[in-house]
Structure 1
Amino acid sequence: MATPDPGADRLRLVIVGGYLGAGKSTWLRHQLYAGAFPGARLIINEAAELAVDDALFGGRYPVTLLAGGCACCAGCPAFLDALRDLCDRRSREAGPDGRTSLAVLETSGLADPGAIAAALRADPMLAFHVTLAETIVLVDAQNAAAQLAAEPLGRAQVEAADRLVLTKTDLAAPADTARLVATLRRLNPAAPITADIRGEPAALPDMPSAAPLPLAQQDGAPILPVQITLPDGLDWAAFAVWLSALLSAHGQDIVRVKGTLRTPAGRLLLQGIRTHVQPPEILPDVPANDPLDGTPDRPPARDGTIVLIGRGIDTDRVTRSLARFAARLL
């Protein structure tokens, strides 16, 4: 007779991690659409006070938003509280078949999944009620070589993974991708590696003799988020001109750009990685008078504020630059 698994009724947690701009939200959205993680409660964590990634899910899935600190450090108490609340909800749900059985945490791009796992193990209540099912780390094939060379955090994320998913392999040369795969296998030999392009599985280059990349670590100023509010009346085209000039001048210090803004075409999602800004995506509006609007299940829209994540960003200087630019147009 089989021995019952004492953890069979625990809440299963999947961590989706990866460095800034790896495409975590896009990948997760495609996975949900394809039927992965059925019935999951999403926990979206952002380092900045202004959250943007939750807007990608458009109210289609139950979301708990954690903004203003990474779940591995400053935001860890809020993350653990959110899990305790979810476990408490489960205890009141009717029967095992009616309970939420899965939570998916999309981490901030500055989070260390290993530290999150350690925090779970160290919490007596959550260690009993939650099991870490899998840690999936996304790796940006276009930018990972520079990230792994310069950012110890990028290496820590890879080393903590149960599974690695390469994104944007269509934007990288096959030889460069092969060297990256060899590097990932050296850093984490146990993790299987797959590739995914805009939600579709992709083949990895067949170059088994590729040499790993050099991984010299460099010290630098910490990467931090700042947010700027767009002046009233500034349209999308004018803002795009200013942003292009900013990234051209400081693109190596500004690692990530994201935000939402209102335009005549609708709500636009803006995302950029260093000097490359992705084509804007039109997002669905939150229904008028939605009773969930503004609750943890559906945070309110925050259009017109942009988050810049990088090193040495002077918020006042950037704000003054944008205000001067807008004054010449308005």
Structure 2
Amino acid sequence: MAESRSDGRLPLTILGGFLGAGKSTWLRHQLHMGRFGGHHVLVNEAAETPVDNLLLAGAGRITVLAGGCACCAGLPALLAALRAICDAASGRQAGQVAGVLLETSGLADPGRIAAAIAGDPVLVRRLAVARVLVLVDGLHCGPQLATEPLARAQIEAADELILTKPMQADPVTLARLALTLRALNPAAALSAAEQGVPVPLPPEDGLMPFDLPPLGAGEPILPYRLDVGREDGWVALSTWLSALIQARGEDIVRIKGVVRTPAGRLLLQSVRRVVQPPEILPDDNSVLAGPPPEEGVIVLIGRGMDADRLARSWRRFGT
């Protein structure tokens, strides 16, 4: 997707999108199909417990940055990691690294990351932003655009917009969303993909984009870590999470984590009130990408939550 450059700088592809847009699912399919071959994949997660890298076993080289969003708190670590990749690509790995692909946190503004790289006196001579790809959740983006300034900023920063989950969305709503994206960023290429596989966009004839109200600054979205512990608590955990999502689904944007169950290690993921089917992970950590998963830990990303209150609620329910 990114071509070699005559000026010797490594091409950087930034993959962005709001929480739960499906960035890791999309990227896993691209890697499986042989795209981004020779790229060093850099995965950023705002939470201290990384999970998304577990889906990217097809990456030849992978670095995980956890515990801070790459456009703000995690920016120094991101710039340091990019410098290290550039150093390796001009040293022993000279000619082996075709480019860098950065999968951002769902809380990141790709425009701020690109600006930070352009303003770094070292990286501006060694990296060039080749493309900003932003994935847009076909199921949830409409309401997000009405309430989330970050969702709009991500779309406005894109060179290419990819609508995800199109087969699960209402075709009229999806078409109106596509029209809204064209209005927000007329210059960006627009396509759709289901599980990373390209599919046609729905017809837009006679439809209108969504009306978007002006937005101010809202309450920040933050990650919360919850230690859920033992294997024999799986039934209680699934019941507790279902109740939590039902009660706080508008505040909890994302849930993800790895837990040990009688069926093996399960990767749990949800977006708002939509729970994805759990994925069984192999017990052999060597076949997974990046650091091994931290079992028995759930990361909740949302607003207005109290970590101590969540822990007390789980302890009462799980005992």
Aligning the two structures, in what range does the TM-score lie when normalised by the shorter sequence?
A: over 0.9
Q: Which whole-Å deviations, capped at 9, do the CAs of 1:24-54 have from their partners, x for residues lacking one?
A: 0000000110111111111000011111101
- Please state whether the residue corresponding to 2:90 is helix, strand or coil: helix
- Please state whether the residue corresponding to 1:247 is helix, strand or coil: helix
Q: Which whole-Å deviations, capped at 9, do the CAs of 1:257-303 have from their partners, x for residues lacking one?
A: 0011112222211000111111101123334xx5x99xxx7313211
Q: Is the 8 A contact 1:56 1:283 kept in 2?
A: no
Q: Is the 8 A contact 2:179 2:204 kept in 1?
A: no
Inter-partner Cα distance in structure 2 for 1:27 and 1:185: 21
The alignment status of 1:56 with 2:55, answered yes or no, reads yes
Once the two structures are superposed, the pairs formed by residues 199-238 of structure 1 within 5 Å of their partners are 199-216=196-213, 217=215, 219-238=217-236
Q: Is the 8 A contact 2:31 2:58 kept in 1?
A: no
The alignment status of 1:39 with 2:38, answered yes or no, reads yes
**Partner residue, 1:87:** 86
Inter-partner Cα distance in structure 1 for 2:58 and 2:93: 24
Q: Which runs of 5+ in 1 are unaligned?
A: none
Q: Which whole-Å deviations, capped at 9, do the CAs of 1:183-209 have from their partners, x for residues lacking one?
A: 100111011111101122111111233
**Partner residue, 1:19:** 18
**Partner residue, 1:163:** 160
Once the two structures are superposed, the pairs formed by residues 174-213 of structure 1 within 5 Å of their partners are 174-213=171-210
Q: Which whole-Å deviations, capped at 9, do the CAs of 1:94-139 have from their partners, x for residues lacking one?
A: 653xx31211100000000000000000001100000111110000
Q: Which whole-Å deviations, capped at 9, do the CAs of 1:53-94 have from their partners, x for residues lacking one?
A: 011124753210111111111101000000100111112126
**Partner residue, 1:266:** 264
Inter-partner Cα distance in structure 2 for 1:286 and 1:258: 20
Distance change >3 Å, CA 245–CA 149, structure 1 → 2 = same
Kindly provide the amino acid, as one letter, of the partner of residue 213 in structure 1: F
In the alignment, which of 105, 109, 114 is matched to residue 108 of structure 1?
105
Kindly provide the amino acid, as one letter, of the partner of residue 84 in structure 2: D
**Partner residue, 2:311:** 319
Q: Measure how far apart 1:12 and its partner are.
A: 1.1
Distance change >3 Å, CA 126–CA 149, structure 1 → 2 = same
Q: Measure how far apart 1:234 and its partner are.
A: 3.8
Q: Measure how far apart 1:166 and its partner are.
A: 0.3
**Partner residue, 1:74:** 73
Report the TM-score when normalising by structure 1. 0.91
Q: Is the 8 A contact 1:10 1:130 kept in 2?
A: yes
Q: Is the 8 A contact 2:31 2:59 kept in 1?
A: no
Inter-partner Cα distance in structure 2 for 1:230 and 1:323: 8
Q: Measure how far apart 1:219 and its partner are.
A: 4.2
Q: Measure how far apart 1:233 and its partner are.
A: 4.0
Distance change >3 Å, CA 12–CA 241, structure 1 → 2 = same
Q: Which whole-Å deviations, capped at 9, do the CAs of 1:122-160 have from their partners, x for residues lacking one?
A: 001100000111110000011000111100100000000
- Please state whether the residue corresponding to 2:209 is helix, strand or coil: coil
Distance change >3 Å, CA 37–CA 60, structure 1 → 2 = closer
Q: Is the 8 A contact 1:19 1:110 kept in 2?
A: yes
Distance change >3 Å, CA 39–CA 284, structure 1 → 2 = farther
Q: Is the 8 A contact 2:88 2:94 kept in 1?
A: no
- Please state whether the residue corresponding to 1:321 is helix, strand or coil: helix
Report the TM-score when normalising by structure 2. 0.94
RMSD: 1.7
Q: Measure how far apart 1:236 and its partner are.
A: 2.3
Distance change >3 Å, CA 242–CA 186, structure 1 → 2 = same
Inter-partner Cα distance in structure 2 for 1:66 and 1:180: 32
Distance change >3 Å, CA 94–CA 42, structure 1 → 2 = closer
Q: Which has the larger radius of gyration?
A: 1
Inter-partner Cα distance in structure 2 for 1:209 and 1:221: 37
Q: Is the 8 A contact 1:10 1:101 kept in 2?
A: no
Q: Is the 8 A contact 1:227 1:306 kept in 2?
A: yes
Segment of structure 1 superposing worse, 52-61 or 248-257: 52-61
Kindly provide the amino acid, as one letter, of the partner of residue 105 in structure 1: L
Segment of structure 1 superposing worse, 192-201 or 159-168: 192-201
Inter-partner Cα distance in structure 1 for 2:88 and 2:218: 43
Q: Which whole-Å deviations, capped at 9, do the CAs of 1:297-330 have from their partners, x for residues lacking one?
A: 7313211100000011111111111111111xxx
Aligned identity (percent) is 53
Inter-partner Cα distance in structure 2 for 1:182 and 1:215: 12
